[in-house]
Amino acid sequence: MQSFQPLDRRTFLKGSAASAGTLVAGFGLGGALAPAAFGASGVDRKTKHVILIAFAGGVRSRETFGSPLNVPNLVQLAEEGVLYTRARTANLGHFGAAMSLFTGISEARGIRENSRGPDPTLFEYVRKDLALPGSEVWISTSGGAQQTNYSYGLHPDYGPTYGANTLDGDGIFNREFKQVIARYGEPKAMEESEGALLERMRGAIGAGGFDGSGGSDGSGAGGNAATIERYILEELTKGTSDLRGANASDAKALRVARNLISIFKPTLTAVVLQDADVAHGSFNAYVEVIRQNDAAIGEIVTAVRADPELAESTSIVVIPEFGRDADLNERRGLDHGDGSDDLNYVTATCWGPDFARGKVIRKDVRAIDVCPSVAELLGAKARHARGDRLPGLLV
C-alpha cells in the first residue's frame, strides 16, 4: 500500500511550483502579482494582505473586551492597533447581519434563507478593481452551505466572475475524507458534495480564476490537480479534521484560513464563524467558544508575525455581526432580540501596518463601515456600499 508523508511548507511550495508549471509565479499565489494598495490620497500603503474575521454567532462585548482574560489575543491586537468600542450592528439574523459586513449594506435576510444577495461583496470589489485572479481572494466558513453565499452577489456588474474561493471547515476537510487518504489504495466513494468542492478548488486555483476557466498557457485545472491534492493532504495531516469541542466548526475554519494564509499569502482572506450561537442554551459553552476562538485567532497572528513577508504587510480586522441580549434567558443562556446596547453594539478590532497604534475610538461607527474601509485599504472602491470609512483608522 502506498503511503504519504506530511508535507512541510517548503516542500509543498517547491513541489507545487514544479508540478504546476511555476504555479506560484504564474498565478500570483505568493502575492507577487497583487497590485500595491493605495488609499484615497494615492499614498502607497504597506498593507498587501488583509484578514477579515467575522466573529459571528452573536458575541457581546461583555464577554470579549469586558472580560479581557477571555480574549488575550484580541486584547493584544487592540493594544497594537485600533479598537472601536461602539460599532452599530443590525439584528437581521446571523445570515443577514454577517452578509452586511461583506456588502456594506444592511441585509434583511431570513434565518434559514439560502440564496445570494443582490449586492456586490467586498471580494468582488477587490478582485475587479485590482484585476486579481481567484487564487488571491478566499473565504473560509464554519456555518455550512448557507455561508457560501457570502462569496459573491448577483449584481450584474460583478457576480461569480469576481467571487471569492470558498472553503467550508466541515466540507472537504472531514474525518471521512481523511480516512480515504489514510487508506490510499482502498478508497471509498467520495461524497458528491466533497467531489464537487474538490473539482471547484482544482478549477479555481489551477486556472487562476473563480470560474475555473483555463489559462492561455494551457495550465488549466487538470494540470494542477496534484498541487491541489498535496495541499489538501497537508491540511488533513495538520489535524484539521480532528478538531473537537464546542467551537469545532469555527476551529476548522480558522485552521484552514491559517494554512491558506501561510502557504498562499492571498491578498484577501475572510473567515466567518458561527459556534458562539450555542449561547441560546448555555452561557458557559458560549464563553468557552469565545476563548477557544480567540486562541485560534492567536495562531493566525503568530503565523503572520513569523513570516517575513506577511509580518509587515498584513492587516487584520475582527468584528462580530451583532451581540446578544443584556439578560440571561430561562435556560441560563443568551438570546438575541431585546434591542439592548449589548445586542446592537459590538467591538471592532483593527491591527496592521497602516493603522494607528494603541487607539481607542468610543464614538459610534457602523459595522457596514468595514467593507468600504477594507476595500479602500487594498486600493478598491466599494461603489454600492452604504458605509463610510472608519474614522481614525489610518495613520
By three-state DSSP, how is residue 252 classified? helix
Give the pLDDT confidence score for residue 323 in this predicted structure.
Answer: 97
Read off the pLDDT band of 90 (50, 70, 90).
Answer: confident
Task: Look at residue 16 and tell me if it is in a domain.
Answer: no
Read off the pLDDT band of 325 (50, 70, 90).
Answer: very high
Task: Look at residue 53 and tell me if it is in a domain.
Answer: yes
Residues with Cβ within 8 Å of residue 28, at least 6 apart in sequence:
34, 132, 133, 135, 136, 208
Q: Residue 15: is its pLDDT beyond 80?
A: no
Task: Look at residue 288 and tell me if it is in a domain.
Answer: yes
Read off the pLDDT band of 384 (50, 70, 90).
Answer: very high
Residue for cell digits 435576510? 109
Give the pLDDT confidence score for residue 10 in this predicted structure.
Answer: 43
Task: Look at residue 164 and tell me if it is in a domain.
Answer: yes
Task: Look at residue 183 and tell me if it is in a domain.
Answer: no
Task: Look at residue 393 and tell me if it is in a domain.
Answer: no
Closest by Cα among 308, 226, 300 to 7: 226
Average pLDDT of the residues in 112-134: 92
The radius of gyration of the chain from alpha carbons, rounded to an integer in Å, stands at 20
Please answer whether residues 104 and 390 qualify as being in contact, where contact means their C-beta atoms are separated by less than 8 angstroms: no
Task: Look at residue 195 and tell me if it is in a domain.
Answer: no
The parent domain of residue 336 ranges over: 30-170+248-378
Q: What is the CATH number of the domain that holds 58?
A: 3.40.720.10
Q: How far from 113 is each of 95, 101, 119, 147, CA to CA, in Å?
A: 8, 17, 16, 10
Overall domain count for the chain = 1
Task: Look at residue 220 and tell me if it is in a domain.
Answer: no
User: Which grid cell sits at 101?
Assistant: 459586513
pLDDT one-digit tens code per residue, 272-314: 999 999 999 999 999 999 999 999 999 999 999 999 999 999 9
Residue 38 pairs in a beta bridge with 44
